[in-house]
């Protein structure tokens, strides 16, 4: 898919903008989008970027502006798209809005150094004979991503956000759009609802999952968020015709209704998004898409008619004794404002209906398209305990469940999944569902304003992943975690991060990774395959990250 790049302005205009940015910056060094607009440090909103403090959460809730008297805080006034008096002329005039006085653009780049244990060479045994195994170096300098962020407010409580990974791993063809949306903040005011009761977001966005993956301070992702559900394909065990590539951390395309505040009290989210469990973009030569012509365009995203539903609800209890302090955006400490001491508990639910289509036969024996519609859900809970500015405990649990519809032939006999190409299915019967569970728990300690010490435990329990790892000929590589030794994958990750400046960070993370195995043999007593000789492929990662 080709990327379309727009030339937005002539050379002289870019030079003028650059000069304006230099002229308007005071004694500060280069600063990202919002810091530029308000002339304030990153640390006003971020603890250890991109992690938000309570004020940053309030800024985001308000639609990327100061929660109160935003106009008096802006150092660069917005450009008026029509005088306010035009409101009185509407509908005979365009409703007036604003755009930021300078393009609110932030850029971010990171780079890494990785050390991988020598046990990684064990994976060479999985390479088909006659092929060269991939080379995994013991040490490697790696380019991360170079991303562009732009966000702000258009007036009338309309906020926007777009971020794009321009380049990933040094290759700009790997980049892609992250979040890109318009958010209509506080539309509940038209329905006379309380402040912040109802917002509408439209576009592409990370769901309101309990802990963000896209803007996490961790170098490595949360394992449970990356867990898709691939049913057991091992012919020795009961099989599952489940091939759901959906992961909770991926961005959704659709709409979201939300409300509440992230700094105290309730907050909720209800999203309706495309279902894309197949992980591929479709195209049709006969039906145009919104973006292009019959034969071009960007294709359709959904692989089913159904729109998936995501819902979350959280309640945060601020624990200060003083009521005014409890209800304020930040707590009033003896040495200055700080984040609240709070307890947040929440729950979430995701529902979709995975679709798999097969060429089969109908009741009359003629060729027919058979569709297995397999409802699935992800459900779980989360909690956070935060002590003042500096100590936070987080935990999340998830349970995933996919209905399993097994193909049968016209005689009603189960068709082994490996034989689907040779035998035409005539229908489906329900088998045992494919399930997984897991979660993570971490502690984050801001030892100094510039130093964050962290520790995390990830655990994922998936029987089907373990059974698929026992497929030896050819070895199964489609599992979310290849060659897993046990049904439960445990990982421990200690980390430390240092803010060199408010916008420059050095990080170190060591991953004690789950057990894996590439040696499979049949149990002489039961004849059932078993894995032997487990090993760990531990990884150490050092990173440098900066935003401006």
- Report the interface residues with other proteins, using CB under 8 A: 28, 38-41, 43-44, 55, 66-69, 72-73, 75, 324, 328-330, 332-337, 502
In the complex with other proteins, the residue whose CB is nearer, 73 or 83, is 73
DSSP conformation class of 413: P
Least distance to other proteins from the beta carbon of 376, Å? 45
Query: Count of alpha carbons within 13 Å of 480, Cβ hemisphere only?
Result: 27
Least distance to other proteins from the beta carbon of 89, Å? 31
Sign of CA dihedral 482, 485, 489, 492: negative
Q: Report the SS3 class of residue 471.
A: coil
In the complex with other proteins, the residue whose CB is nearer, 41 or 150, is 41
The dihedral region occupied by 336, where left means phi > 0, alpha psi between -120 and 50, and beta the remainder, is left
Least distance to other proteins from the beta carbon of 41, Å? 5
Whether residue 462 is preceded by a cis peptide bond, meaning omega within 30 degrees of 0, is no
In the complex with other proteins, the residue whose CB is nearer, 330 or 382, is 330
In the complex with other proteins, the residue whose CB is nearer, 45 or 304, is 45
What proportions of the chain, in percent to the nearest 5, are helix, strand and coil?
Answer: 15, 45, 40
In the complex with other proteins, the residue whose CB is nearer, 6 or 69, is 69
DSSP letters, 336-403, are: EEEPPPEEEEEEEEEEEEEEEEEEEE-TTSSEEEEEEEEEEEEEEEEEEEEETTTEEEEEEEEEEEEE
Residue among 147, 273, 266, 264 nearest 201 (CA) = 273
d(CA 384, CA 319) in angstroms, rounded, equals: 13
In the complex with other proteins, the residue whose CB is nearer, 43 or 537, is 43
CA 211 to chain CA mean position, Å = 9
**Cβ atoms of 232 and 467 closer than 8 Å:** yes
Least distance to other proteins from the beta carbon of 499, Å? 11
Reported as type and span, the H/E element at residue 24 is helix 11-24
Please list, in sequence order, all residues whose beta carbon lies within 8 angstroms of the beta carbon of residue 293, skipping any fewer than 6 positions away: none
Please list, in sequence order, all residues whose beta carbon lies within 8 angstroms of the beta carbon of residue 479, skipping any fewer than 6 positions away: 230, 464, 465, 468, 469
Least distance to other proteins from the beta carbon of 320, Å? 12
In the complex with other proteins, the residue whose CB is nearer, 329 or 355, is 329
d(CA 149, CA 162) in angstroms, rounded, equals: 6
Least distance to other proteins from the beta carbon of 330, Å? 6
In the complex with other proteins, the residue whose CB is nearer, 31 or 406, is 31
d(CA 161, CA 173) in angstroms, rounded, equals: 22
d(CA 215, CA 37) in angstroms, rounded, equals: 21
Least distance to other proteins from the beta carbon of 38, Å? 7
CA angle 466, 471, 475 (to 5 degrees): 115
Least distance to other proteins from the beta carbon of 450, Å? 11
In the complex with other proteins, the residue whose CB is nearer, 53 or 228, is 53
d(CA 529, CA 548) in angstroms, rounded, equals: 54
Q: Give the pair of three-digit tokens for residue 377.
A: 């859900």
Q: Give the pair of three-digit tokens for residue 410.
A: 């016209």
Least distance to other proteins from the beta carbon of 436, Å? 43
In the complex with other proteins, the residue whose CB is nearer, 39 or 97, is 39
Least distance to other proteins from the beta carbon of 99, Å? 21
In the complex with other proteins, the residue whose CB is nearer, 336 or 363, is 336
Least distance to other proteins from the beta carbon of 20, Å? 20
Least distance to other proteins from the beta carbon of 328, Å? 7
**Cβ atoms of 54 and 44 closer than 8 Å:** no
In the complex with other proteins, the residue whose CB is nearer, 207 or 499, is 499
């Amino acid at each position: 898919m080709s990327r379309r790049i727009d030339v937005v302005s002539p050379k002289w205009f870019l030079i003028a903008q650059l000069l304006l940015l230099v002229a308007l910056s005071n004694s500060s060094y280069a600063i990202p989008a919002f810091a530029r607009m308000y002339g304030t440090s990153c640390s006003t909103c971020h603890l250890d970027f991109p992690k938000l403090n309570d004020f940053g959460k309030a800024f985001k809730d308000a639609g990327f502006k100061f929660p109160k008297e935003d106009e008096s805080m802006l150092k660069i006034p917005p450009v008026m798209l029509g005088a306010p008096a035009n409101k009185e002329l509407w509908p005979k005039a365009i409703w007036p809005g604003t755009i930021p006085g300078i393009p609110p653009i932030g850029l971010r780049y990171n780079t890494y150094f990785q050390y991988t244990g020598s046990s990684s060479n064990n994976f060479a045994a999985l390479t088909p004979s006659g092929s060269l195994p991939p080379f995994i170096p013991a040490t490697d300098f790696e380019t991360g991503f170079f991303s562009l962020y732009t966000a702000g407010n258009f007036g009338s409580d309309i906020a926007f956000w777009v971020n794009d990974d321009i380049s990933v791993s040094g290759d700009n063809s790997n980049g892609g759009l992250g979040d890109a949306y318009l958010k209509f903040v506080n539309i509940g005011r038209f329905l006379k609802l309380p402040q912040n009761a109802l917002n509408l977001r439209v576009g592409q966005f990370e769901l309101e999952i309990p802990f963000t993956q896209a803007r996490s301070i961790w170098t490595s992702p949360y394992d449970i968020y990356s867990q898709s559900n691939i049913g057991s394909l091992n012919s020795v065990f009961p099989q599952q015709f489940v091939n759901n590539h959906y992961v909770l951390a991926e961005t959704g395309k659709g709409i979201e209704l939300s409300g509440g505040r992230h700094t105290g009290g309730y907050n909720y989210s209800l999203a309706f998004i495309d279902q894309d469990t197949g992980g591929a973009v479709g195209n049709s030569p006969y039906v145009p898409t919104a973006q292009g012509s019959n034969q071009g365009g960007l294709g359709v995203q959904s692989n089913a008619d159904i729109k998936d539903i995501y819902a979350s609800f959280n309640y945060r209890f601020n624990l200060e004794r003083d009521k005014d302090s409890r209800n304020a955006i930040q707590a009033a400490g003896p040495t200055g404002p700080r984040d609240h001491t709070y307890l947040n508990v929440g729950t979430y639910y995701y529902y979709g209906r995975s679709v798999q289509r097969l060429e089969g036969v109908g009741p009359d024996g003629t060729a027919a398209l058979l569709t297995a519609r397999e409802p699935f859900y992800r459900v779980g809970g989360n909690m956070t305990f935060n002590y003042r500015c500096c100590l936070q405990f987080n935990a999340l649990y998830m349970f995933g469940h996919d209905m399993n519809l097994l193909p049968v032939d016209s005689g009603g006999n189960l068709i082994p999944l490996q034989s689907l190409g040779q035998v035409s299915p005539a229908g489906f019967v329900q088998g045992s569902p494919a399930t997984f569970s897991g979660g993570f728990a971490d502690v984050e300690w801001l030892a100094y304003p510039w130093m964050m010490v962290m520790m995390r435990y990830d655990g994922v329990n998936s029987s089907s992943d373990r059974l698929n790892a026992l497929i030896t000929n050819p070895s199964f590589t489609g599992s979310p975690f290849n060659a897993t030794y046990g049904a439960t994958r445990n990982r421990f990750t200690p980390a430390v991060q240092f803010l060199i400046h408010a916008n420059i960070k050095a990080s170190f993370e060591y991953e004690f990774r789950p057990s894996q195995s590439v040696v499979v043999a049949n149990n002489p007593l039961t004849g059932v395959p078993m894995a032997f000789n487990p090993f760990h492929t531990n990884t150490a990662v050092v990173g440098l990250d900066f935003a401006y």
